[in-house]
Amino acid sequence: MINQTLVFLLVISSSCFHFATSKVRTSLPRGSALSVEDDSDLITSQDNTFTCGFYGMGTNAYWFAIWFTNSKDRTIAWTANRDKPVNGKGSSISLKPNGAMVLTDANGLMVWMTNTTSADVDRAELLNTGNLVLKDPKGRILWQSFDSPTDTLLPSQIFTKSKSLVSALRKGSYQSGYFSLFFNSDNVLKMIYDGPEASSVYWPRPDYDVWGNLRTNYNSSRIASFDDQGVLSSSDKLQFSASDMGFGIKRRLTLDYDGNLRFHSLNFTTGLWSITWEAFAQQCNVHGLCGRYGICIYTPQAMCSCPPGYEVSDISDWSKGCKPTFNFTCSKSQQLKFVEILHTDYYGFDSNYSRGISFEDCRKICLDDCACQAFSYRLDGVGLCYAKIALFSGLKTLNFPGSIYMKLPTSVKTAEPPILVGYNTSCESNKSLILLGSPSMYETIIKRVRWVYLYSFCLAIGTIESLIFLSSWWFLFRRSSVPATLEDGYRVISSHFRRFSYAELKKATKNFKVELGRGSSGAVYKGVLADARIVAVKRLGDAFQGEQEFCYGIVILEIVRGIRLSTRVIEDTEEHEVELTRLVGLVKLRIQSKEECWMEDIVDPKLNGQFDRKQAATLLEIGLACMEEDRSKRPTMDTVVQILLESEAEQY
């Protein structure tokens, strides 16, 4: 009886196990189907890297898709019905007897199908490469998903002239967006913004020719792919690789929703992705990111803003750009003005280009043209004038030598100087930030970490300097100013120091009238307290605004020269300032000499001349500017960061 019971239980267990695992399959036979209502109705690759089935978002929107099985968020690599999601009930994907794979909605309407109607089709199979294929009984491929990519390219997937990658509309969306990667008729791999109101190629650099972009258009094969090591090669001589290049890492090349092409590498432990290569280090170079009239700025991350006289159309969708807050007519009775936005320009749409022209003549060209919405003017040795009939792909960056002048009715009130209101381009935050356009960079995690260390170092140096100064001042004061007979009395009251308010110190110093001296960390003023005691007051107001810049200037010069002065602050403050003055004087003297080898005399000799002269000059310029005695003349750290990043970006 016991043996019969055991046999019965084993049979039941085997049946249950078979039932539980019957939905885990690597292929779908002809005449079979997958149902949207069964979450376990899936096809997996043999190595379990990829899974294929219905992918849901919300409660009633589903896509037939392929995703990375081990990624934390089930990252999609391909979708069949990208712009036509199906119902969460009654929808199915089936491999018909005629050989066609058909996706139907709840009402039975066909949403998507393969172009195969052959009795030779035997099964659908998901390969270890992430390629969904239809095979005949002999294993020959009759159709494959690799021939119709969405926004992602996988290793060994061949990208040809008949294919394109199209970005998602926004973060978290699977709907087709406005950015595309494709081979153009010149045999060059390019990226284009193709929005509802404008089209513009933005990669490779549109202001360079084919050779300037290190490409060639002689090879008409128009083919590209990347291998298992993370190296992409293209027929136009384009080649790049992931920073973690090597075997054993799951990667994808995705045209992300923000128009940037990136390598993403999967961490098997966390299931998270990291960026290991991107086409744009500076995100604002992507066209159309901020829509019509929008201006991309750095804060330091890329953010969208509207120019004076305009407001955001839809904070949740920056592709809609900005809209005017005024009504513009071509009537002569409407009084007009031009508002300057420094270091800003809009790409293209020039109705008039004039060279060697004065600012007033350029202004008149736009004023007399009803269709002109703004004009760009820059000197660059000669006057360059661009009258704009449409405003797209606005960009504010300090390395642009000109300004954009917006045509507005005089009734529109604007700030002086114009203020840009920046909004995060991602969907993670709807917070706005008032900015004066101090740009920086859209950075990778590695670069951010690098700046965190620099900021931390500067803050530490500033803190140590302040503590040493205050301690030394207190020590000297009690030794030289206090008679020995009163030392015990001062020792008693030393435990009763109190904090003075700013108002009290302002009154004691008569609004900081008499300056006794000035150091790197602030000015010292003479003050008289209420009990008639004469004191020295060190004003640390705006210290943070200037100190981090000052110490950063020291660090920059130390790096370039290959010497170290920072540690001498602790040993001897006076000696440190003498050395610092000598160093600054030496650098200025060499620069003013204009000798051909002046830079080699300054830069660390251990480099043996192996350095970028332009970047070294930029570093020296920053170092000297940060050490200006007048704190108001020192650049902010935001400005410093942007200058450095712009210098780095010029190498791309």
For the chain, residues classed under CATH 1.10.510.10 are: 544-649
Is the separation of the CB atoms in 349 and 337 below 8 Å? no
DSSP-derived secondary structure letter, 83: T
Q: Which amino acid is at 173?
A: S
pLDDT over 70, % of the chain: 72
Place of tokens 């000598």: 582
Q: Where in the chain is the domain with CATH 2.90.10.10?
A: 21-148
**Helix-then-strand count for the chain, H and E:** 11, 41
pLDDT at 463: 62
CA 233 to chain centre: 25
Cis peptide before 204 (omega within 30 of 0): yes
Read off the tokens for 538. Answer: 């060190």
Residue ranges of the chain assigned to CATH 3.50.4.10: 284-442
Chain mean position to CA 285: 10
Q: What is the pLDDT of residue 483?
A: 46
The pair phi, psi for residue 605, each rounded to 5°, is -65, -20
- pTM greater than 0.85: no
**21-148: CATH, from 3.50.50.60, 2.90.10.10, 2.40.70.10, 3.30.559.10:** 2.90.10.10
Instruction: State whether CATH 1.20.1050.10 applies to domain 544-649.
Output: no
CB 260 within 8 A of CB 286: yes
- The rounded average pLDDT for each run of 10 residues, N- to C-terminus, in the chain (652 residues) is 44 41 76 91 95 88 95 95 92 92 93 88 95 94 96 97 94 92 94 92 92 90 95 95 94 96 95 95 92 90 91 87 88 87 92 90 93 90 90 91 92 74 47 30 36 51 59 50 43 48 79 72 75 72 49 65 52 54 70 66 72 78 76 73 68 52
Asked if 226 and 153 count as a contact pair (C-beta separation under 8 A), the reply is yes
The residue to which tokens 């507005």 are assigned: 408
pLDDT at 626: 78
Distance CA 519, CA 228 (A): 58
C-alpha distances out from residue 140 to 29, 74, 98, 122, Å: 15, 29, 17, 10
- Find, among 585, 639, 590, the residue nearest to 616 by Cα: 590
Question: In the numeric block, which tokens belong to residue 652?
Answer: 């791309």
DSSP state of 285: G
CA-based nearest residue to 598, from 623, 617, 579 = 617
- Say what the pLDDT of residue 82 is: 94
Tell me which residue of 65, 16, 68 sits closest to 36, measured CA to CA: 65
Coil, strand, or helix at residue 275? strand
Question: Does domain 284-442 match CATH 3.50.4.10?
Answer: yes
Q: What is the pLDDT of residue 415?
A: 75
Beta bridge partners of 295: 305, 394
Contacts 24+ apart (CB under 8 A), 311-320: 312/423, 315/423, 315/430, 316/427, 316/430, 317/170, 318/289, 318/290, 318/291, 318/294, 318/423, 318/425, 319/169, 319/170, 319/177, 319/178, 319/195, 319/196, 319/288, 319/291, 320/291, 320/292
Looking at CATH, the fold of the domain delimited by 454-484+501-543 is given as Phosphorylase Kinase; domain 1 (3.30.200)
Query: Helices 573-593 and 445-480, interaxial angle, to 10°?
Result: 130
